[in-house]
Amino acid sequence: MSDVIGEPLDRVDGRLKVCGKATFAAEHNLPRLCYASILYSRVPSGTIRAFDVRAAERAPGVLLILTPDNAPALPQGGRAGVNPPAGRVLSLLQDRQVYYHSQPIGVVIAESPEQAAVARSLVRVSYEAAGAQLDFVAAARASAYSPAESGLSHPHTARGDFPGAFANAEVRVEQTYSTPMEHHNPMEPHATVALWEADHLTVYDATQYVSGVQTTLSKVFGIAAQNIHVVSPYVGGGFGCKGSMWSHVALAAMAARKVARPVKVVLERTEMFGPVGGRPQTEQRVALGARRDGTLVALSHSVISHTSVFEDFTEPCTTPTRMLYACPNRQTEQKLVKLNVGTPTFQRAPGEATGTFALEVAMDELAVALDLDPVELRLRNYAEREPESERPWSSKSLRACYQDGMRRFGWAGRPPPRSLREGHEWIGWGMATATYPCNRRKAAASARYLKDGTALVQSGTQELGTGTYTVMTQVAAEALGLPPAAVTFQLGDSTLPAAPVSGGSCSVASVAPAVRAACEAARAELIARGTTLADSPLAGVPAADIDVADGWLVHRSQRGRRLRVATVVEQQAVAISGSAELERGAEKDQYAMHSFGAVFAEVRVDADLGRIRVPRIVASYGVGRLLNAKTGKSQLVGGIVMGVGMALLEESLLDRATGRFVNANLADYHVPVNADIGSIEVAVVPEEDRWVNSVGAKGIGEIGITGVAGALCNAVYHATGRRLRSLPLTPDKLLAAERT
């Protein structure tokens, strides 16, 4: 076996990308292409009385203006495709109801994008406005409700006797933590190009889920899935907002059919705030009861998050609370409030990013109350089995992560809070635990040796910029016995073997085993053919004695007996190929499968000016086997950077009067810039896991963001002695804390 897996192989698509030759969705320019601009509601709630499109229709270049007045009727009023995660409740011009500001209510199609935008500005819409709920806090007090159980999360769990144990606990901490609305803002906005050829629809889309878009469009339009082709070879970041199919995709297809030309729609940055999801606002009450020695005896986490008025989405913040620490008396609760905003959605580590913030800050508060080192507190409550199911872990290296992180950070000798100072700055150290489940879904792949000595491997997964092309090439190369340069991996196409959504950190865990199995099947076939070729030096050798490596079939003990892979393939009339479709088996009921990590952060706080800087973060993760040392660490570092943004900067500001976001652009919606980021050192502790999947790799897409906000918040406390409980940790909040 070669050792291609794990090597820091350069991105196989890197050259194409830096040369501008990787074709993203918006770059598919077809003959006779025209452009759509989506018209959005300007009120947060009500009914559309009338559209006046006369001026817009006369504007130069306009081809069509679609409104509920002339939009084609869809099956089930446009709701036939509802089936999360891919299929959400969409706005497809089937009625005149308005549920939120920036809801799609029409489409303007013109010869150029500029003409479409100008014409859109000329459409006049009159509304019968209705009352809107835009105040999260008021709604949380007045109308929080328990959502129906969904696949995501049970709204309530309880074990033991939390109220009794908490009431009798020797030490208690009970606090409320809050996190704001956020928006994903990948570099590439959503974009779709739709083309009809007779009854066949081709969609070039920026999506995390090609087969989800195919299925959803099939249901939305009531046409067979095989008549829909979804293509998405490169995606410029998703973070969850491209995991569902939003209205613009179906509207582009609807428009293309009406004008009988291909239609392109590219969302503007401002359009990324509202109609394509975001992270919901949360208010989280955490109560911890402990013995004097730090043993948790009671743990409760109650969450209210917002959703839209037309679809439930729960930010499952309590998920980590249910599995992170051993505690006999535990209860968790998730409630929702309805606001007149677009439905929120999965945003990088939905639940874990927000939930670990509340839980890990509460744990820090408990450590302070107990005068105990925060790592020691966590070790005293280390869960040796999964607390909810009491199943053994498939693997868990959290102790090693704490130790590795402490050592590399230099945690030992941490002084008391508000005691380290340099010039005007307080210096503080904080830590938090990171965790994310090991999800896996059904995935299929195929592999075929080609006559030129290379191989073609395919799976309909997606490349979000994370390195999917690269790591799948590595997995395939190792299994096929070819150098990586001889393997072409194809993805992002609904005609390929189906793969799951690139979400929930499940792509590697789902697709890599399928790729490996398909390649191993092809290799077995290759060996079988190689031993039966006329004049083969391997004739009659048992398959078990033959290795395939670096493009050769080789006798394992008599290395001189060998045969080129290409030589075997050339002589075949029938292709040498393999395919596989795999999903998790019985092991899923026997083991609890999670990734863990520990995040250590240093902050410098100028308390007079409210300024927080993050000179260094050290994090250690137990994530099984890393398939590519370079892309893997980049992804973990990227998660931490996003965590810094969540902790210090990101907040979508909802206008209380109109329901429009006030900072719907990247100058005013702050994500970290280079100057905000100091040293970030990540390490992966050695971890073997034979149960998560055949390659032993846990997903790493999301764990990087978890724990970061908690660690930073705890570091700010350690620096200043002031406890902030509301994200983001902006200067105004720090100044207010300093003045109390």
Cα distance between residue 495 and residue 499, in whole Å: 11
**How is the chain split among helix, strand and coil, in percent rounded to 5?**
30, 25, 45
Instruction: Tell me the closest approach of the beta carbon of residue 667 to another protein, in angstroms.
Output: 7
Give the relative orientation of helices 468-480 and 507-530 as an angle to the nearest 10 degrees.
30
Instruction: Tell me the closest approach of the beta carbon of residue 670 to another protein, in angstroms.
Output: 5
Would you say 119 or 517 has its CB closer to another protein?
Answer: 119
Distance separating the N- and C-terminal Cα atoms of the chain: 64
492: left (phi over 0), alpha (psi -120 to 50) or beta: left
DSSP string, 278-341: -BPPEEEEEEEEE-TTS-EEEEEEEEEEEE-SSS-----TTHHHHHSB--SEEEEEEEEEE-SS
How does DSSP classify residue 704?
G
Which tokens belong to 14? 């890197």
Would you say 42 or 156 has its CB closer to another protein?
Answer: 42
Cα distance between residue 81 and residue 697, in whole Å: 33
Among 249, 199, 198, 195, smallest CA distance to 224 is for 199
CB-based contacts of 415: which residues, under 8 Å, 6+ apart?
A: none
CB atoms within 10 A of CB 124: 11
Would you say 20 or 423 has its CB closer to another protein?
Answer: 423
* 634 to 597, 624, 683: CA distances (angstroms): 16, 16, 11
Would you say 106 or 672 has its CB closer to another protein?
Answer: 672
Would you say 38 or 217 has its CB closer to another protein?
Answer: 38
Instruction: Tell me the closest approach of the beta carbon of residue 420 to another protein, in angstroms.
Output: 19
Instruction: Tell me the closest approach of the beta carbon of residue 732 to another protein, in angstroms.
Output: 4
Instruction: Tell me the closest approach of the beta carbon of residue 662 to another protein, in angstroms.
Output: 4
Instruction: Tell me the closest approach of the beta carbon of residue 644 to another protein, in angstroms.
Output: 10
Which tokens belong to 276? 């394509």
Would you say 30 or 662 has its CB closer to another protein?
Answer: 662
Would you say 137 or 736 has its CB closer to another protein?
Answer: 736
Question: Three-state secondary structure along 503-562?
Answer: CCCCHHHHHHHHHHHHHHHHHHHHHHHHCCCCCCCCCCCCHHHEEEECCEEEECCCCCCE
Would you say 686 or 731 has its CB closer to another protein?
Answer: 731
Would you say 205 or 425 has its CB closer to another protein?
Answer: 425
Q: In what order do the strands lie in the sheet with 443-449?
A: 487-490, 455-458, 443-449, 576-582
To which H or E segment does residue 445 belong? Answer: strand 443-449
For residues 622 and 683, is the Cβ–Cβ distance under 8 A? no
Q: Which residues are catalytic?
A: 702
Instruction: Tell me the closest approach of the beta carbon of residue 345 to another protein, in angstroms.
Output: 22
Instruction: Tell me the closest approach of the beta carbon of residue 649 to another protein, in angstroms.
Output: 6
Instruction: Tell me the closest approach of the beta carbon of residue 271 to another protein, in angstroms.
Output: 11
Instruction: Tell me the closest approach of the beta carbon of residue 58 to another protein, in angstroms.
Output: 14
CB-based contacts of 505: which residues, under 8 Å, 6+ apart?
A: 436, 437, 438, 439, 595, 698, 699, 700, 701, 702, 703
For residues 358 and 318, is the Cβ–Cβ distance under 8 A? no
Radius of gyration, alpha carbons of the chain:
27
How does DSSP classify residue 610?
T
Cα distance between residue 512 and residue 495, in whole Å: 19
Among 489, 547, 495, smallest CA distance to 518 is for 489
Among 181, 151, 147, smallest CA distance to 85 is for 151
* Footprint on this chain of another protein (rule: CB under 8 A): 40, 42, 101-102, 114, 117-118, 121, 270, 423-424, 608-611, 613, 648-649, 653, 655-658, 660, 662-665, 667-668, 670, 672-676, 730-732, 735-736, 739
Would you say 43 or 480 has its CB closer to another protein?
Answer: 43
